[in-house]
Every structure is written in C-alpha cells, then in structure tokens.
Amino acid sequence: MYEIDGVLYLSAASFARLLGRDPSRVKQLRVAGRFDGWCIKRGGRWLYRLDEAQAFARERGK
C-alpha cells in the first residue's frame, strides 16, 4: 500500500488479490480506472485508489 498526498493506493497485484483475480488480468480494469480518475502511474507502476478499488470490488460481489 502506498500513501500519496494523504490518499492510500494499492499496487496492481494487491488490487488483483482484492478482486480474486490473476494480476495479469488487471490491465483491463486499469483502462477503466485511468479514465475514471482513480488509477495513476507513479515511478513506472500503476496504483489504484484504495477507496475506489474497495467500492469496485463490492460492486463485483467480492
């Protein structure tokens, strides 16, 4: 988990685990997340806002 400007973010692998998916399949979600404003790229890594990732997981029934 990473904190940037007071906001917590998950790595792609952590986001995949939250969803119960293979990390290699998170790329499809990244495209949607980037346009929704809750996915950012820092230091060559894609990071996902923890609160938005949790809401997304709840919507998916995980």
Rounded to whole angstroms, the Cα distance separating 28 from 56 reads 13
pTM for the predicted model, two decimal places: 0.76
- What token pair was written down for 19? 């969803």
> What integer pLDDT is reported at residue 32 of this predicted model?
63
Q: In what order do the strands lie in the sheet with 39-42?
A: 2-4, 7-11, 45-49, 39-42
pLDDT digits (tens, 9 = 90+) for 6-60: 999 999 889 888 888 888 777 776 666 666 778 888 888 889 899 988 888 888 7
Domains of the chain: 2-59 (3.90.105)
- What token pair was written down for 8? 């917590």
Rounded to whole angstroms, the Cα distance separating 14 from 22 reads 10
